[in-house]
């Protein structure tokens, strides 16, 4: 319920992308920890703000955050405190990136808190979240070493994040037809088609790189991204099975732990 799997997934993916620029360098622990705390803070705040909306569809996770909201506010405070200390140990350009990402996220959280759960703004939640998440997890790679191949890897990761969020929206829409999200706006069939299309794009680009280049760390990253997208595709194709006990969420969040196979 605390979604620590989401936090660890973000940290592990960040390490995978960091090694694209510095394959033999020491892992920047302060940077990774701040990212983890930030993702957790944003996730908790998003749920707490959702609970303040009068027409919000209350999921099991929303119930959890409402029940333990006082404890969660303490967790947010401690996370902010620890992150503030760690800021003194990160490079300047990463600090600036963090400020920009924090500002965008703050605007996003403010806007979502101002609109009801039935407002059309909710339809843009998935693409905005995908962009902000990718910015925090991947953009450091572009800052350290800009290249076309790194850009392609980042764009595929953005598509995978969006595919993941759309799949979750689709699953939530099937469980609660009255909820308002991107899947409810596009409809079930169109959402499935877009999930399939994203997998086709990711697999086509990934397999093309792997076929036309030698086996390198880049190839391994592409393979991980292909595997991520393929698993999301399977969840979509057999969605009714994965709806049981929220399996779609456990497996869908679990894909971001796959880089563990290549980063150590």
pLDDT digits (tens, 9 = 90+) for 183-222: 888 999 999 999 999 999 999 999 999 988 888 899 999 9
Q: Mean pLDDT throughout 93-117?
A: 81
List pLDDT tens digits, range 167-176: 999 998 888 8
pLDDT at residue 118 in the model:
66
Q: Give the pair of three-digit tokens for residue 214.
A: 């030698």
pLDDT at residue 54 in the model:
59
In the chain, the N- to C-terminal Cα span, in Å, equals 28
pLDDT at residue 110 in the model:
81
pLDDT at residue 3 in the model:
76
Q: Mean pLDDT throughout 110-137?
A: 80
Residue 57 has pLDDT above 90, yes or no: no
Residue 41, burial from CB neighbour count under 10 angstroms (0-12, 13-18, 19+): buried
Residue 130 has pLDDT above 80, yes or no: yes
Of the two residues 58 and 242, the one the predictor is more confident about is: 242
pLDDT at residue 82 in the model:
95
Residue 260 has pLDDT above 80, yes or no: yes
List pLDDT tens digits, range 23-47: 776 788 999 999 999 999 988 888 8
Upper half-sphere CA count for residue 259 (Cβ side, 13 Å): 22
pLDDT band at 155 (very low <50, low <70, confident <90, very high): very high
Percentage of the chain modeled with pLDDT above 90:
48
Residue 1 has pLDDT above 70, yes or no: no
Residue 123 has pLDDT above 90, yes or no: no
Phi-psi category of residue 56: left, alpha or beta, with phi > 0 → left and psi -120 to 50 → alpha:
beta
pTM equals 0.91
pLDDT at residue 91 in the model:
85
Q: Mean pLDDT throughout 76-85?
A: 93
Distance CA 19, CA 254 (A): 21
Residue 214, burial from CB neighbour count under 10 angstroms (0-12, 13-18, 19+): exposed
Of the two residues 51 and 183, the one the predictor is more confident about is: 183
Q: Give the pair of three-digit tokens for residue 190.
A: 């169109």
pLDDT at residue 43 in the model:
87
Residue 115 has pLDDT above 80, yes or no: no
Distance CA 178, CA 47 (A): 18
pLDDT at residue 195 in the model:
97
Of the two residues 246 and 258, the one the predictor is more confident about is: 258
């Amino acid at each position: 319920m605390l979604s620590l799997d989401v936090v660890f997934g973000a940290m592990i993916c960040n390490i995978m992308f960091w090694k694209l620029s510095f394959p033999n360098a020491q892992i920047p622990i302060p940077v990774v920890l701040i990212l983890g705390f930030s993702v957790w803070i944003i996730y908790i705040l998003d749920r707490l703000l959702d609970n303040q909306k009068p027409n919000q569809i209350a999921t099991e996770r929303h119930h959890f955050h409402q029940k333990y909201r006082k404890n969660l506010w303490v967790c947010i405070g401690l996370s902010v405190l620890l992150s503030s200390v760690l800021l003194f140990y990160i490079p300047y350009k990463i600090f600036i990136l963090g400020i920009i990402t924090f500002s965008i996220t703050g605007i996003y959280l403010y806007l979502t808190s101002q609109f009801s759960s039935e407002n059309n703004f909710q339809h843009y939640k998935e693409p905005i979240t995908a962009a902000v998440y990718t910015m925090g997890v991947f953009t450091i790679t572009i800052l350290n070493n800009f290249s076309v191949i790194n850009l392609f890897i980042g764009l595929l990761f953005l598509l995978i994040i969006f595919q993941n969020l759309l799949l979750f929206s689709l699953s939530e829409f099937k469980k609660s037809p009255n909820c308002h999200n991107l899947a409810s706006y596009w409809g079930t069939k169109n959402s499935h088609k877009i999930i399939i299309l994203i997998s086709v794009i990711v697999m086509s680009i990934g397999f093309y790189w792997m076929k036309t280049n030698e086996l390198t760390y880049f190839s391994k990253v592409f393979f991980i991204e292909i595997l991520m997208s393929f698993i999301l595709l399977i969840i979509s194709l057999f969605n009714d099975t994965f709806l049981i006990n929220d399996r779609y969420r456990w497996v869908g969040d679990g894909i971001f732990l796959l880089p563990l196979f290549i980063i150590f």
